[in-house]
């Protein structure tokens, strides 16, 4: 009988000690959200925790939508978000700060039989819309005004993600309006495209370009966007050769916006935790020096000031 009582008491004791103390909670930051921001946030967390060892930062990636869902439901302190914030979400009280900029780019296989025409002419926004949304362009022959040259196989993202939302907003629609085979996750999509000569899709820049070499990964090619819609890719529209030139085009806003996009930290209402506010301010200031090496475009100065002001 005595042993039973001691076991029960021990169990209760373990349970109680298992919960955190108030100060531990204050110094713990739980973040979740977009895959696009995940590697950068992890790097930031490492550097920040070196400066402030008493802070613990837990980061998980589950897609931009999951970040939003977790923030709205109070499951995490802050979310990483990779598309524009919708009005309904703002109505629910979302607070945000932009951290850096990257881009979603249209992709095809390097083995596409019409690669040369595509690289020379590019595809306009309207044509993209007809490929991805309405389906009225379904054959690669549209490039040369011929018919039956090969079916265009459209791929999109199955999971609720920022990349799809951003690409869709470029085409004036929503993710669910993008009609194509749904692949889970960005690497899966890049893989599917590189293996199928007839495929077309879209990816985050990080999954197309290798950050170390600055070149496109083998098997995948970028579709130049015919921004001025004149039917060819002019020299000033041709910046897809290296990661560096593409990011420069994004930074100078030559590349359209969307599908270039700002990456955000989101919270429900102005953050209350001091440690969270400190972290956000740090990423907007000292943290910006890690952004380029990670393959993103740093926030322009005026925007940083604007966001810093929001934290007060």
Partner 1 sequence: MNRRKIIEQNIFRTLCGIASYSLIFMLGFIILIIFYKGVGSLSLEMVTKPPSGGYYFGGDGGILNAIIGSLYIAIGATLIAIIFGMPAALYINVHLVKRKKLQNAIRYFLDALWGIPSIVYGAFGFTLMLAMGLGASLLAGIITVALLITPIMIRTFDEVLSAIPMGLHEASLALGSTNTQTAFRVMLKQGFSGFITAVLLAFGRGIGDAASVLFTAGYTDLIPRNLDEPAATLPLAIFFQLSSPIPEVQERAYAAATILTIIILIISLTARTFSRKFTRTSIK
Partner 2 sequence: MLKTGTVWKQLSSGWMVSSLTVILSIPFLIGVALLIKSTPLFSSQSLWQLIGTSEWAPSEGRFGFLPFIFSSFYVTILSFLFAAPVCLLSAIYLTQFASPRLSTIMHPVIDILAGIPSVIYGVWGILIIVPFISQVAAPLFGTTSPGYSILAGGIVLAVMCIPYMLNMLIETFRTVPVGLREAALSLGATGWESVKHVVIRKSISGIISSFGLGLAKAFGETLAVMMVVGNMVRLDANPFQAGYPLPALIANNYGEMLSIPRYDSALMFAAFLLLVIILIINLVFRYFIYKAQKV
Residues that bind partner 1 (CB under 8 A): 15, 17-20, 24-25, 28, 30, 32, 35, 38-39, 42-47, 56-62, 70, 73-76, 185-187, 190, 204, 206-207, 210-211, 217, 294
Give the relative orientation of helices 162-170 and 64-73 as an angle to the nearest 10 degrees.
110
Rounded to an integer, what distance in angstroms lies between the CA atom of residue 158 and that of residue 204? 15
123 Cβ contact list (under 8 Å, min separation 6) = 106, 131, 223, 224, 225, 226
Q: Select from partner 2, partner 1, none the partner in contact with residue 265, using the beta carbon and a kind-dependent cut-off of 5 to 8 Å.
A: none
CB 57 within 8 A of CB 99: no
Q: Select from partner 1, partner 2, none the partner in contact with residue 72, using the beta carbon and a kind-dependent cut-off of 5 to 8 Å.
A: partner 2
Q: Select from partner 1, partner 2, none the partner in contact with residue 298, using the beta carbon and a kind-dependent cut-off of 5 to 8 Å.
A: none
What are phi and psi for residue 246, nearest 5 degrees?
-65, -45
Q: Select from partner 2, partner 1, none the partner in contact with residue 285, using the beta carbon and a kind-dependent cut-off of 5 to 8 Å.
A: none
91 Cβ contact list (under 8 Å, min separation 6) = none
Least distance CB 38 / partner 1 (angstroms): 7
Residue (24 or 136) nearer to partner 1, CB? 24
Least distance CB 120 / partner 1 (angstroms): 28
CB 196 within 8 A of CB 111: no
Least distance CB 76 / partner 1 (angstroms): 6
CA proximity to 290, closest of 45, 108, 70:
45
Least distance CB 218 / partner 2 (angstroms): 17
Residue 74: DSSP 8-state: T
Which residues contact partner 2 by CB under 8 A? 1, 62-69, 72-73, 86, 88-89, 92, 151, 153, 158-161, 174-176, 179-184, 188, 191-192, 195-196
Q: Select from partner 1, partner 2, none the partner in contact with residue 211, using the beta carbon and a kind-dependent cut-off of 5 to 8 Å.
A: partner 1
Least distance CB 290 / partner 1 (angstroms): 9
Please state, in angstroms and as integers, the Cα–Cα distance from residue 273 to each residue in 43, 46, 78, 97, following that order: 21, 19, 11, 16
Residue (30 or 251) nearer to partner 1, CB? 30
Residue (1 or 147) nearer to partner 2, CB? 1
What are phi and psi for residue 257, nearest 5 degrees?
-130, 100
Least distance CB 198 / partner 1 (angstroms): 23
Q: Select from partner 2, partner 1, none the partner in contact with residue 158, using the beta carbon and a kind-dependent cut-off of 5 to 8 Å.
A: partner 2
CB 140 within 8 A of CB 152: yes
């Amino acid at each position: 009988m005595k042993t039973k009582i001691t076991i029960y008491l021990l169990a209760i004791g373990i349970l109680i000690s298992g919960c955190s103390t108030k100060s531990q909670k204050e110094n713990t930051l739980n973040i979740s959200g977009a895959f696009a921001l995940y590697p950068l946030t992890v790097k930031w967390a490492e550097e920040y925790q070196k400066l402030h060892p008493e802070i613990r930062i837990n980061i998980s990636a589950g897609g931009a939508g999951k970040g939003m869902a977790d923030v709205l439901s109070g499951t995490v302190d802050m979310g990483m978000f990779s598309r524009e914030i919708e009005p309904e979400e703002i109505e629910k009280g979302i607070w945000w700060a932009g951290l850096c900029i990257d881009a979603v780019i249209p992709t095809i296989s390097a083995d596409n039989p019409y690669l040369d025409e595509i690289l020379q002419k590019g595809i306009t926004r309207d044509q993209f819309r007809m490929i991805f949304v309405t389906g009225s362009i379904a054959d690669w022959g549209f490039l040369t005004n011929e018919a039956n040259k090969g079916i265009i196989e459209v791929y999109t993202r199955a999971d609720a993600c920022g990349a799809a939302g951003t690409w869709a907003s470029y085409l004036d629609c929503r993710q669910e309006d993008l009609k194509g085979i749904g692949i889970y996750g960005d690497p899966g999509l890049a893989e599917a495209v590189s293996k199928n000569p007839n495929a077309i899709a879209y990816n985050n820049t990080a999954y197309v370009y290798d950050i170390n070499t600055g070149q496109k990964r083998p098997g995948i090619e970028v579709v130049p966007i015919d921004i001025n819609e004149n039917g060819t890719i002019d020299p000033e529209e041709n910046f897809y050769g290296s990661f560096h030139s593409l990011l420069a085009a994004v930074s100078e806003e030559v590349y359209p916006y969307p599908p270039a996009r700002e990456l955000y930290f989101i919270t429900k209402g102005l953050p209350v935790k001091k440690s969270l506010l400190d972290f956000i301010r740090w990423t907007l200031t000292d943290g910006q020096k890690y952004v380029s090496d990670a393959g993103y475009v740093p926030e322009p100065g005026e925007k940083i000031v604007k966001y810093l002001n929001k934290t007060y």
